[in-house]
Structure 1
């Protein structure tokens, strides 16, 4: 049963008042689509989360073997109030530019390339200023995810700590401060 129409209307208004356009756009970025254009035609569609997931695997394959999920950590980064909008925009643009380079070189988005082609793209973009900075930023967040406290969602079952034979600091956080 859906309830009284007036109560339902008040719930909708309350939801719309607390859910801003900015929050909607931030929440949807990593699950949203990146449209890749080839000239004036739509070439392909991928999601930033797919791209980050594969990029992390390409940059540090050991993380996958350890069971560390670094891509979902990026979703938290995009919601963190202390990460500047400029940094978030740079990461978003980096995903777009990485895919554009893949389309330009191989006529496929990054997530559809072979491992050898992806490595070639990474080698190529790190020769550019934006590419070097982008890979550097992604690796910083990847290491944060791999070596941070598991409460933040990246270092599953303390796998990164075990890999380095490291004992986490005490007291440990009870909840994520992100």
Structure 2
């Protein structure tokens, strides 16, 4: 059974680094990685986290592997990356991460006008704030930089292991 557990873990981790196929009408335009896109989106939505050296995108690995987050929610997050890139392609003929800061903001503003986009951005902000404000054991704010920035003293005792 050990190898099954290892294989399962490998497959879960592989999901986060896997590619998302971007379509241009009926043609395949390209493939982007979920992690790279989420890293740039997080920087665009909450630049202070990047400034504080908080790895909010790395925190998403926990989200995608968490047993209490529904597969439907995980699929929505993954599809949101695809739809975001399709919107970037529609507006600027390239993928989201290849755009300038200004054009990435225009793409975010465009999707925010849609029901799925508004929800997807809300989810992204929720996870950004969890990573930023959560206990360092969850790998977002490993050095308590956000806590220091906010002059916050974390709860005691701190968790000894990640709760999944």
Question: What is the TM-score normalised by the length of structure 2?
Answer: 0.93
**1:75 alignment partner in structure 2:** 61
In the comparison of the two structures, how many residue pairs are matched? 164
**1:41 alignment partner in structure 2:** 27
Give yes or no for the alignment of 1:92 onto 2:92.
no
**1:15 alignment partner in structure 2:** 3
Among 127, 140, 146, which residue is 2:113 paired with?
127
**2:155 alignment partner in structure 1:** 169
Q: Structure 2: 5+ residue runs without aligned partners?
A: none
Distance 2:5 2:144 in 1: 39
Q: Deviations over 1:10-54 (max 9, x none)?
A: xxx96258635xx65533222011121223333122101001100
Q: Give the superposed CA RMSD.
A: 1.7
Among 126, 146, 154, which residue is 1:160 paired with?
146
Which stretches of structure 1, 4 residues or longer, exceed 2 Å deviation after superposition? 13-20, 23-27, 39-42
Q: SS of the counterpart of 2:22?
A: strand
Distance 2:100 2:21 in 1: 20
Question: What is the TM-score normalised by the length of structure 1?
Answer: 0.86
**Bigger Rg, structure 1 or 2:** 1
